[in-house]
Structure 1
Amino acid sequence: MDTALDHPTVQGRAEPGHGNGSAASRDGGVLYLSIAETLARSIRSGAMRRGERVPSVRELARQHGVSLSTATQAYRSLEDARLIEARPRSGYFVAARPRSLPEPDTSRPPAVSTRVDRSALTAEVMRIAEDPGYLSFGAACPAASLFDETKLRRAVARSVQRHRQTLAEYRVGPGHEAVRRAIARHALRLGSVIDPQQLLVTNGCLEAIVLCLRAVTRPGDVVALESPTYFGFFEILEQLHLRALEIPTHPRTGMALDALQLAFDTHAVKAVLTVPTLSNPLGASMPLAERRRLARMAAQRGIPVIEDVIYNDLSEQDDRRRSVHSFDEGGNVMLCGSFTKTLAPGIRLGWMAAGRWHAQVQRMKAATSGGQSTVLELAMAELLGQTGIESGYRRLRATIAARVDEAREIVAQSFPRGTRVTDPPGGFILWAEFPEGVDTLELWRRCLDERICFAPGNMFSASDRFGRFARFGVGGRWDDAQRAALRRIGELATRMLAGGGRAGAADA
């Protein structure tokens, strides 16, 4: 079955000419993607229902003031994403969407802080997830095929050619000025106005988070964070000897701020670590009003909020890309990000704006890892400054949205009755809750026998409250073998639920 990834439009085919070229000159020459994304939001929100007729190509062109070829490209993009379908001699209609599935409820973590120890399970799962001999849903990483490798290679090659002398130089400092200016411009997309002099370039987003935590906590301190949350955060807390206080989190709206306020009142919370946009693994996105409220809560208490914005550019909702940092007026929000999920996974550069802790974090950065590769910094500066970057994000969002929709349909068809699964507004992660009777750690072990891997739910909490949950990443390889593997996970879970004992290869 074709996916949006397989279509030449998504692989980077240029939009056909428009005679006067006016449409092609807007937004990097990919106006059709802007039109397609607007219609996609209407379809996914339910404003346009399945089976409903959409405007004809001619009507769409007239509504948006574009050429017929631009309107046609927009509809092709929506067809690739399986959002509309063409019917002979009838026109275009909203396609049948994946069947409605219930979502998990708001989490209910323990109301006490917990010492973290999840390293053994995490290390084993991630080792297997990276093994090419497995059909894996274990990692939350995008495949190389989702990116324009030629563009990345050329940017790095030009940087080496133009700045080859830097390969023989040992540099330290906050990062090359060119890349810090480029990151500051990128931050405007998040609503954040940052002086480039207040930015630090890091070795990935996780280093930025580690530096922030080291600056504002001491061993034994309590850090509040979403529940469930990214297992890498627990690894960091364990290494820094910090205690995790998990806050109830809704799969659509994110961290419950009333519960966070109660935590402030009853615990000596020293920092909040949060992913307000497309949190991992829930895919939750905090409403704009709640982001403003969180910034206000941080200011009132003087408690630092460490905000991870690594997924913001994958959000299908414009307002949910805005950072909590954009509402911060006192330097209490520490902003951390990178481009490993959206632009250049292999250029492992992160960045941070540490607010009122900037000087302290800069000293720590210099003392621990020094500087980065200037050649890679300048390559990233070029990539961030190229025209068409927004159209690249749109292509990526459209491709992974089609995958997520298809994966949810497989869950609906193949997983046990009563399974709940998230419906994230962007990103490539699904969080599933199985019915009582399914232990996902045991399911994981059974899947390993068939060379299939996913991430069991207990990786994403310092407690054992997510033993019936699992995370599935669909950003990597996606083909018929992967689809069959996802169906097989559902079959094995169904057998487990039925008490059918250990499923073997003969049951396939």
Structure 2
Amino acid sequence: MAKYLQLIDQIQQQIASEIWLPGEKLPSLREQVAQSGMSLMTVMHAYQVLESQGWIVSRPQSGYYVAPRAEFLSQPASHQKVQLTESVDINDFIFEVLQACRDPDIMPFGSAFPDPELFPQRQLMRSLSAVSHSLKPADALNNLPPGNEALRKTLSKRYALQGIQVSPEEIVITNGAMEALNLSLQAVTAPGDWVVVENPCFYGALQAIERLQLKAVAIASHPQHGIDLTELAATLAKLPVKACWMMSNQQNPLGCTLSREKKQELVALLEAHQVTLIEDDVYSELWFGSEKPLPAKAFEKQDSVLHCSSFSKNLVAGFRVGWVAAGRHAQRIQRLQLMSTISTSAPMQLALVDYLGSRSYDVHLRRLRQRLEQRKSLARQSLRRHLPASAKINDSQGGYFLWIELPEAVNTTELYYRALREKISIAPGKMFSTSEQYANYFRFNTAWEWNDSREAAVATLGRLIAEMLQGQRWP
């Protein structure tokens, strides 16, 4: 772990343990240098990150202080550590929420996608135009499963840069990450099988489990530390689990990233029980700081991890190009794809090959991460200004989601409908669980450029929440 991250973790733990109380002054930069033995630049960077996350505040000519309302979300007091669900039925509500986000007049805080203006649209369109003019009849066949060879080789090289050996023959190009995840789940399960998910979890996992007639085992996940491995181990000892679908980096909706040690322990535990890990890693490029977190796949020893990702959250949503590093399951997934969508669009695959060959991708990613980090900080500050003091905001080192806990008196599904009448969308907690345990939580998308209209929308959200806390009935 980078030194500045070590210092961030240390100070966060000290604040959480109330060694430093809200409003108290922290050691100065030079005092921290002397105490930690780190360089001044390292300490400055750590303090700047802590400030951007809302843990501390700076005061001119005075120094750094613990933020007045440092927040630490925990799991709900009534939280079940393990929840068994033999029949998942959540698709209709999720469809309703996602449809509302399509309205251009709606403030899209409930959207799952980042602001498209963050993407290099012109360069991508130039690449698409270039390949469209040179398409040959054979290109349609050459891009059938497992997908374009040059694109698979490019992905294989990007894995290699992280020290992960994935052959191009193990990679299957798909119609976005959702197809990669769905095909992966279908490849290793049969109707009636048990599948582990996190609680809360990405609603796409619940939709897939419902569609494939599987049974869900939801394991509690902590907002900062992720899935409870003790409860996972106990569950694996009791039930014939076939697969585990989870996010180890920038988990949606919590935003947390598992530590390297926890990823290693997770993979070892699943391999000991011969359970396949379906790793949803669509936010893997949206990390903040100086070091990209490894996926759980980096720690496999038995070809046990199906690693799924896409370009939709970091480059272009409309192309719908994803992939799965499927290992020994690659042939099975190709056959399943041929029986469903047949293949991913040949022009889109070729356009990505052309763009990625320009070496502009990593420049774009660096700029994207910087802008997302800035926007997340601005959105968090706005929420703190307008939400009641009792609201808690879970922040994270990456991505563009904030997970927000409101007092139990506020049902966020009702808040969703009230806000929708004001042309504002949120993602209520009901979307991310098969129970009502997260009825007072919601996910907030921070990827949009901050302006007066977004500030006004957050103020409206604050007013609606205040009205609900005062017991005002909804007309």
Bin of the TM-score, shorter chain as denominator length: 0.7 to 0.9
Q: What is the match of residue 348 of structure 1? A: 320
Q: Distance in 2 between matches of 1:404 and 1:98?
A: 17
Say whether residues 1:232 and 2:215 are aligned partners: no
Shift of 1:446: 1.3
Q: What is the match of residue 163 of structure 1? A: 135
Change (3 A) 1:455 1:376: same
Of the candidates 237, 248, 251, which is equivalent to residue 223 of structure 2?
Answer: 251
Say whether residues 1:491 and 2:463 are aligned partners: yes
Shift of 1:162: 3.5
Residue deviations 1:85-135 (CA, integer Å, cap 9, x gap)? 9999x9xx9899976442321363463421211112111111111111211
Residue deviations 1:274-323 (CA, integer Å, cap 9, x gap)? 10000100001000001111121122111100011111111125656201
Q: What is the match of residue 426 of structure 1? A: 398
Q: Distance in 2 between matches of 1:211 and 1:129?
A: 26
Asked if 2 retains the 8 angstrom alpha-carbon contact of 1:337 and 1:351, the reply is: yes
SS of 2:285's partner is helix
Shift of 1:47: 7.0
Residues 25-36 of structure 1 aligned to structure 2 (within 5 Å):
none
**TM-score, with structure 1 as normaliser:** 0.79
Shift of 1:152: 1.1
Shift of 1:417: 2.4
SS of 1:246's partner is strand
Q: What is the match of residue 73 of structure 2? A: 104
Q: What is the match of residue 465 of structure 1? A: 437
SS of 2:244's partner is strand
Q: Distance in 1 between matches of 2:359 and 2:157?
A: 13
Q: What is the match of residue 220 of structure 1? A: 192
Change (3 A) 1:314 1:43: farther
Of the candidates 362, 365, 368, which is equivalent to residue 334 of structure 2?
Answer: 362
Change (3 A) 1:478 1:242: farther
Residues 31-430 of structure 1 aligned to structure 2 (within 5 Å):
100-106=69-75, 108-109=79-80, 111-114=82-85, 115-165=87-137, 172-317=144-289, 321-430=293-402
**TM-score, with structure 2 as normaliser:** 0.84
SS of 2:339's partner is helix
SS of 1:234's partner is helix
Shift of 1:214: 0.8
Asked if 2 retains the 8 angstrom alpha-carbon contact of 1:186 and 1:384, the reply is: no
- Give, as a single letter, the amino acid of the residue that structure 2 aligns with 1:498: Q
Shift of 1:477: 5.5
Q: Distance in 1 between matches of 2:122 and 2:232?
A: 45
Q: Distance in 2 between matches of 1:309 and 1:181?
A: 19
Change (3 A) 1:474 1:227: same
Q: Distance in 2 between matches of 1:50 and 1:200?
A: 51
Change (3 A) 1:434 1:269: same
Shift of 1:40: 8.9
Asked if 2 retains the 8 angstrom alpha-carbon contact of 1:103 and 1:423, the reply is: no
- Give, as a single letter, the amino acid of the residue that structure 1 aligns with 2:263: R
Change (3 A) 1:44 1:481: farther
Q: In terms of mean alpha carbon deviation, does 103-112 or 449-458 score higher?
A: 103-112
SS of 1:404's partner is helix
SS of 1:186's partner is helix
Q: Distance in 2 between matches of 1:302 and 1:85?
A: 48
Shift of 1:374: 2.3
Change (3 A) 1:176 1:50: farther
Q: Distance in 2 between matches of 1:351 and 1:97?
A: 43
Q: What is the match of residue 36 of structure 2? A: none
Q: Cα RMSD between the aligned structures?
A: 3.2
Asked if 1 retains the 8 angstrom alpha-carbon contact of 2:375 and 2:449, the reply is: no
Shift of 1:369: 1.9
Asked if 1 retains the 8 angstrom alpha-carbon contact of 2:243 and 2:276, the reply is: yes
Q: Distance in 2 between matches of 1:400 and 1:449?
A: 28
Residue deviations 1:43-86 (CA, integer Å, cap 9, x gap)? 966879999679xxxxxxxx99xxxxxxxxx9xx99xx899999
Asked if 2 retains the 8 angstrom alpha-carbon contact of 1:101 and 1:412, the reply is: no
Change (3 A) 1:331 1:168: closer
Structure 1 residue runs of 5 or longer lacking an equivalent are: 1-37, 55-62, 65-73, 504-508
Change (3 A) 1:136 1:168: closer
Q: What is the match of residue 421 of structure 2? A: 449
Q: In terms of mean alpha carbon deviation, does 446-455 or 470-479 score higher?
A: 470-479
Q: In terms of mean alpha carbon deviation, does 482-491 or 460-469 score higher?
A: 482-491
- Give, as a single letter, the amino acid of the residue that structure 2 aligns with 1:393: L
SS of 1:213's partner is helix
Q: Distance in 1 between matches of 2:359 and 2:28?
A: 36
Asked if 2 retains the 8 angstrom alpha-carbon contact of 1:278 and 1:311, the reply is: yes
Change (3 A) 1:495 1:43: farther
- Give, as a single letter, the amino acid of the residue that structure 2 aligns with 1:473: N
Q: In terms of mean alpha carbon deviation, does 390-399 or 220-229 score higher?
A: 390-399
Asked if 1 retains the 8 angstrom alpha-carbon contact of 2:319 and 2:348, the reply is: yes
Q: Distance in 2 between matches of 1:181 and 1:386?
A: 15
